[in-house]
Structure 1
Amino acid sequence: MHLLKTLAASAALAVGFAGAAAAQDPVKVGFIYVGPVGDGGWTYEHEQGRLAVEAHFGDAVETVIQENVPEGANAEAAITRMAVSGADLIFTTSFGFMDPTIAVAEKFPDVKFEHATGYKTADNVGVYSARFYEGRAVQGTIAGHLTQSNIIGYIGSFPIPEVIRGINSAYIHAKKVNPDVQFKIIWAYTWFDPTKEADAAKALIDQGADVILQHTDSTAPQAAAQEAGGVYTFGQASDMSEYAPMPRVSSIIDNWAPYYIARTQAVIDGTWESDNTWDGIGPGMVGIGEISDAVPAEVKAEALALKDAIASGEYHPFTGPLNRQDGSAWLAEGEVADDGTLVGMDFFVEGIVGEIPN
């Protein structure tokens, strides 16, 4: 009898230890990156968010990454490997990871997925993005003032709504302060390819652009502008301050850390639910990098006032009157664009020259 009691007690103790160990197992959080962590832009800032998760949670969380994952069907294998490895939460951080994320999520219903910049959700898939177009409004204001040639170059990655919104916002606000401004757009068809990005910057400079904006991820356009001399640029996704005060005069900075920490906490707490987050300057997901002394004080003041008005909700970058590129009416005087139109934006505003590629 005593032996049976002893065995039962030992078994209970063993179960207790096992339960305690399981309770202490760290939550595993994975990140799928389209570029290298050292790109100096988009992926770099997602990596800063991951590091912030590690710093915040310590041993309670384990993080893993896969960088340089091509968009499209090949991404499915990388996401699957991460799910198989035991990840509890996976952030897939590029638009082209959307369908692969949905496909993998169907096979792993107990894993939580978060997809950046997409629009497809599921019970275990949430989406998140930043209102980058708010930062483009500030950049456009500065660019419109700075250009002497009245030609502003724009390096687009892919002709998707996120990029089209940014071009439109930058153009609208450059045009407000400089009615003579023109935009020249080159599509790089890549998020990260320093050679292509540098070539695009050089081509725009050859076409007379003395200000270049970009929706690609490397610092190659800054290097090309610095080599050319007399050309202004803006950091994309990250500060890129190594090129300040010239050619980089300000930047859009993506701040993912608070979101990554909050969503990881939700998994730990068991409160995670699929969501759709689209935050901007006000909540702090979009930051404006320091405006350098290469920008006149009055222009800096105007740009910062615009930033504050956007942050407070006093002003929306897409406020009418605005027409579509073909001259048809879009927004009446004082009318503000709705999120549905912005999310699916597939048209340029009036004044931009060139077609959006299919």
Structure 2
Amino acid sequence: MPYKLNRSSAAVPVLLAGLSLPAQGAEPLKTCFLYSNPIGESGWTYQHELARRALASSMADRITTKYVENVAEGPDAERVIRNFVQEGCKLIFTPSFGFMEPTIKVARQAPKVIFMNGTGYKTAPNVGAYNARYYEGRYLEGVLAGHVSKKGLAGYVSAFPIPEVLQGLNAFTLGMRSVNPNAQVKLIWVNAWYDPGKEREAANTLATLGVDLLTYDTSSVAVVTAGEEKGIPTVGYYSDMSRFGPKTNLTSVVQTWTGYYGKVIEDVLAGRWKSGQTVGGLKEGVIRMAPLNAAVPPEVRDKFAATEKEIAEGRLHPFAGPIFDQAGKQRVAAGQVLGAAELDKMNFLVNGVDGTPPK
């Protein structure tokens, strides 16, 4: 189906006439990707890499691609981005919030190169930003957790308290409490996007605290495999995690970037690319839910499907009020919905999260 993302109202797009590149008939568009983690077999980087591979094949006559994986945010990222420019990359994707500043910095000095930063929010004449409403899928996972958790107690292994992560954590909690108003989500920060050892340790700690469902926003398979070993249900993130937890993984929020990246490349090749911030979700197909595990009861499947349809059609917003934070302060009034600008700056945990709030 046609691939279209909605422009975020949080952004102040720099809408220019299409940024022109040299005619592409002479040579393929060199398109480069910078990854913060190892590619591995699942997770954040893996999903972006699947898109690169698919497009490198389907558009082989018009583009060439290159990637560098496992690059630390900060000076290392800036160095690799500069190398991309020096090597002739004309379109550079940097899918990490921590790559935003290095991307903006290098872009100022390479005005003829187009940059696309994933999960960031800053734009420039030759820099676009893109993200997804991951929180839609996380809310759905929370709804599922609310139905299957007998104790009403879930465990959440989380990376860093940036807005995108807080959106997902809060949406999961709100979804769970939409089914069980007394549900609690025990939170452990691991301060890493990818650290299987820390992730497993956190999952094991949460298990000893009595949770009967586990989830996470980190990038390894550690939480899912820990749940499988202990017989604790899990809901996954980034990739379809069912092969790592065939008995206990109930579903996952799956990111699908091929359509979006293909659209950006087509726009660049056609000379119609414009800077701005774009955001997509269930409706646009940027995220989808993996098939439910056979262990999920039919009545729960029906409720899950109905909620998914409501969100995709815009009839249900995960951050519709009233919403209160951990301290009991009202953050969203009844009848109101948290807007894109507020979501991009989220810095609180909702009531129901048992863990240290961001500082």
Question: TM > 0.5 between the two?
Answer: yes
Shift of 1:39: 4.2
- Residue 315 (structure 1) aligns with: 316
Amino acid at match of 2:254: I
Give me the whole-angstrom Cα distance separating, in 1, the residues matched to 2:38 and 2:242.
Answer: 19
Amino acid at match of 1:168: N
- Residue 264 (structure 2) aligns with: 263
- Residue 254 (structure 2) aligns with: 253
The farther-off stretch of 243-252 and 253-262 is 243-252
Shift of 1:209: 1.2
* Alpha-carbon contact 2:24-2:269 (below 8 Å) kept: no
Bigger-Rg structure (1/2): 1
- Give the 3-state SS of the residue equivalent to 1:277 in structure 2: strand
- Residue 25 (structure 1) aligns with: 27
Shift of 1:90: 0.4
- Residue 345 (structure 1) aligns with: 346
The reply to whether residue 131 of structure 1 matches residue 146 of structure 2 is no
- Residue 201 (structure 1) aligns with: 203
Give me the whole-angstrom Cα distance separating, in 2, the residues matched to 1:305 and 1:93.
Answer: 32
The reply to whether residue 120 of structure 1 matches residue 111 of structure 2 is no
1:219 to 213, 218, 221: 221
Cα RMSD (Å): 1.6
- Residue 286 (structure 2) aligns with: 285
- Alpha-carbon distance change, 39 to 199 in structure 1, aligned in 2, over 3 angstroms: farther
Question: Which fold has the larger relative contact order, with Cα–Cα distance below 8 Å and residues 6 or more apart in sequence?
Answer: 2
- Residue 108 (structure 1) aligns with: 110
Amino acid at match of 2:258: A
Q: What do residues 187-236 of structure 1 show as CA deviations (whole Å, max 9, x unaligned)?
A: 1111111111111111111111111111011111111111112x011221
- Residue 144 (structure 1) aligns with: 146
Q: What do residues 96-152 of structure 1 show as CA deviations (whole Å, max 9, x unaligned)?
A: 111011111111111100000001111111000110000011000011111123220
- Residue 299 (structure 1) aligns with: 300
Give me the whole-angstrom Cα distance separating, in 1, the residues matched to 2:242 and 2:126.
Answer: 38
Spell out structure 1 runs of 4+ moving beyond 6 A.
none
Amino acid at match of 2:163: P
The reply to whether residue 325 of structure 1 matches residue 326 of structure 2 is yes
The TM-score normalised by the length of structure 2 is 0.91
- Give the 3-state SS of the residue equivalent to 1:346 in structure 2: coil
Give me the whole-angstrom Cα distance separating, in 2, the residues matched to 1:331 and 1:172.
Answer: 13
Give me the whole-angstrom Cα distance separating, in 2, the residues matched to 1:155 and 1:257.
Answer: 28
The alignment of Structure 1 onto Structure 2 pairs a total of residues equal to 338
- Residue 39 (structure 2) aligns with: 37
Amino acid at match of 1:319: A
Question: Larger % of helix: which?
Answer: 1
- Percent sequence identity over aligned pairs: 42
2:88 to 79, 86, 89: 86
Give me the whole-angstrom Cα distance separating, in 1, the residues matched to 2:226 and 2:35.
Answer: 25
Q: What do residues 9-35 of structure 1 show as CA deviations (whole Å, max 9, x unaligned)?
A: xxxxxxxxxxxx973300000000011
Give me the whole-angstrom Cα distance separating, in 2, the residues matched to 1:149 and 1:324.
Answer: 22
Unaligned runs of 5+ in 2: 1-22
Give me the whole-angstrom Cα distance separating, in 1, the residues matched to 2:59 and 2:83.
Answer: 24
Give me the whole-angstrom Cα distance separating, in 2, the residues matched to 1:203 and 1:330.
Answer: 31
